[in-house]
């Protein structure tokens, strides 16, 4: 492609938002794949989490300073500098991606195994078990809790072997921004929660991608999320990958998920929930 043609047709921008227990490096494979397709890819770090996995493990202090509002405000500022980006978020990053859509950002939004805006009352047992290392002790709220390899395996990578899970843990896992998780868990009880939006309002198209074997955000929760935000006149879609865990973007076969996400975002269409195979 000539420089003249490139100038006439700039690359579409994709903004990627990580979730809890991970940082921006969790998107590394997706960044390279999307760049190879010609996109301008921006993995967005939460405020203070611009460092590496190793740095955040050695000094988790930045994680203790975060709240849902501070992260959402920071992401809004970052996204506002981008021209009509496609926004994708994983887990709690998927909640932020949905909130950004309701705040008027993005040409299309994809939430991958996402937390839902306020309004979904279901808290499945597997979710409570996966989040228990943080939520079981209220005194954890101002701390940053690191999952053990076994806890990470249950919550994020339960479809792969212990050895493979440990490899992903060492490469990607960081401590949790505990206050963010606490605020998310109790968002339905906070009248002024930043996670509370008018779900009936118009917004960019949103796709929810669910993992059928996800312990942290089970399909039933993703389906309830889909039904909640389907109250908007904006396009709403749900796609289930029946055999995938919470860290669906990191375990083998992530390419299929990444390709489906971007292909949908380029040409959004509505779907209806489908049962897990």
Express each pLDDT in 225-259 by its tens digit.
999 999 999 999 999 999 999 999 999 999 999 99
Domain covering 3-266: architecture:
3-Layer(aba) Sandwich (3.40)
pTM value is 0.94
Summarised one tens digit per residue, pLDDT across range 47-104 is 999 999 999 999 999 999 999 999 999 999 999 999 999 999 999 999 999 999 999 9
Query: At 171, which helix (H) or strand (E)?
Result: helix 162-172
Say what the pLDDT of residue 122 is.
82
Say what the pLDDT of residue 116 is.
98
Say what the pLDDT of residue 276 is.
53
pLDDT reading at 5 higher than 50: no
pLDDT reading at 277 higher than 60: no
Which tokens sit at 187?
């968002």
Cβ 208 vs Cβ 109: under 8 Å? no
**Length of the chain in residues, anyone?**
277
How many CA atoms lie within 13 Å of 110's alpha carbon, on the beta-carbon side? 27
Residue bearing the bigger pLDDT, 122 or 43: 43
DSSP structure class, residue 214: -
Say what the pLDDT of residue 273 is.
63
N-term to C-term CA, the chain: 43
Say what the pLDDT of residue 11 is.
78
User: Region 15-28: what's the mean pLDDT?
Assistant: 98
DSSP structure class, residue 241: E
The residue with tokens 């405020």 is 47
Summarised one tens digit per residue, pLDDT across range 187-228 is 999 999 999 999 999 999 999 999 999 999 999 999 999 999
Say what the pLDDT of residue 1 is.
37
Average pLDDT, the chain: 94
User: Region 165-186: what's the mean pLDDT?
Assistant: 98
Q: Which conformational region is residue 106 in: left (phi greater than 0), alpha (psi within -120 to 50 degrees), or beta?
A: left
Which tokens sit at 218?
């089970």
Summarised one tens digit per residue, pLDDT across range 132-166 is 999 999 999 999 999 999 999 999 999 999 999 99
């Amino acid at each position: 492609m000539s420089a003249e043609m490139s100038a006439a047709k700039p690359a579409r921008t994709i903004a990627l938002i990580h979730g809890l227990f991970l940082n921006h490096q969790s998107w590394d494979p997706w960044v390279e794949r999307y760049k190879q397709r010609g996109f301008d890819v921006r993995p967005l770090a939460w405020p203070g989490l611009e460092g590496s996995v190793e740095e955040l493990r050695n000094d988790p202090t930045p994680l203790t300073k975060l709240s849902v509002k501070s992260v959402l405000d920071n992401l809004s500022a970052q996204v506002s500098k981008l021209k009509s980006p496609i926004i994708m978020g994983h887990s709690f990053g998927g909640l932020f991606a949905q909130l950004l859509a309701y705040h008027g950002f993005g040409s299309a939004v994809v939430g991958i195994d996402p937390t839902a805006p306020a309004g979904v009352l279901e808290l499945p047992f597997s979710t409570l078990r996966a989040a228990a290392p943080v939520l079981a002790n209220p005194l954890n709220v101002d701390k940053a809790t690191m999952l053990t390899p076994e806890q990470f395996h249950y919550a994020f990578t339960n479809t792969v072997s212990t050895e493979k899970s440990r490899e992903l843990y060492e490469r990607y896992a960081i401590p949790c921004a505990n206050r963010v998780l606490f605020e998310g868990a109790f968002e339905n009880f906070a009248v002024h929660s930043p996670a509370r939006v008018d779900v009936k309002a118009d917004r960019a198209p949103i796709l929810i991608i669910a993992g059928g074997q996800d312990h942290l955000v089970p399909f039933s929760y993703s389906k309830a999320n889909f039904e909640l935000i389907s109250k908007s006149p904006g396009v709403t879609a749900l796609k289930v990958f029946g055999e995938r865990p919470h860290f669906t973007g990191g375990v083998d076969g992530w390419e299929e998920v990444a390709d489906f996400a971007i292909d949908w975002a380029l040409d959004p269409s509505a779907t209806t929930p489908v049962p897990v195979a």
